[in-house]
């Protein structure tokens, strides 16, 4: 299987993700991502988004939709050769679970 363009453009991806993070504060605490194969063996980019407790409790749909839209606006997933997956968690959930990949 060929490597996707995203592998060679990780610096650009990181910069764009940080820009989205900054734009959506204070609702978005941080966004982590990794590139790998999904369940079907296709290349994907997996986003792990930690939201403020307030955003997660009162505006989850609005904030999550905004995160997905802003990332797609800044990153051409088709050109990068990856399919995006978005997972969300509140700040208090992460504090309780303490998963390193989400930190």
Domain boundaries, the chain: 5-102
Q: At 36, which helix (H) or strand (E)?
A: strand 28-37
pTM: 0.94
Fold that domain 5-102 belongs to in CATH: Alpha-Beta Plaits (3.30.70)
**How many helices (H) and strands (E) would you count in the chain?**
6, 3
Confidence (pLDDT) at 50:
98
Mean pLDDT of 43-50: 98
Query: What pLDDT is stored for residue 24 in this prediction?
Result: 97
Q: What pLDDT does residue 3 have?
A: 86
pLDDT of 1 over the 80 cut:
no
Query: Average pLDDT in the 4-11 region?
Result: 94
* 5-9 mean pLDDT: 93
């Amino acid at each position: 299987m060929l490597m996707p363009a995203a592998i060679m453009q990780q610096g650009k991806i990181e910069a764009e993700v940080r820009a989205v993070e900054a734009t959506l504060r204070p609702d978005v605490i941080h966004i982590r991502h990794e590139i790998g194969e999904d369940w079907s063996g296709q290349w994907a980019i997996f986003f792990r988004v930690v939201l403020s407790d307030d955003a997660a409790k009162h505006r989850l749909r609005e904030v999550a939709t905004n995160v997905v839209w802003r990332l797609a606006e800044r990153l051409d997933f088709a050109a990068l050769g990856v399919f995006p997956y978005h997972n969300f968690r509140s700040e208090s959930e992460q504090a309780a679970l303490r998963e390193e990949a989400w930190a």
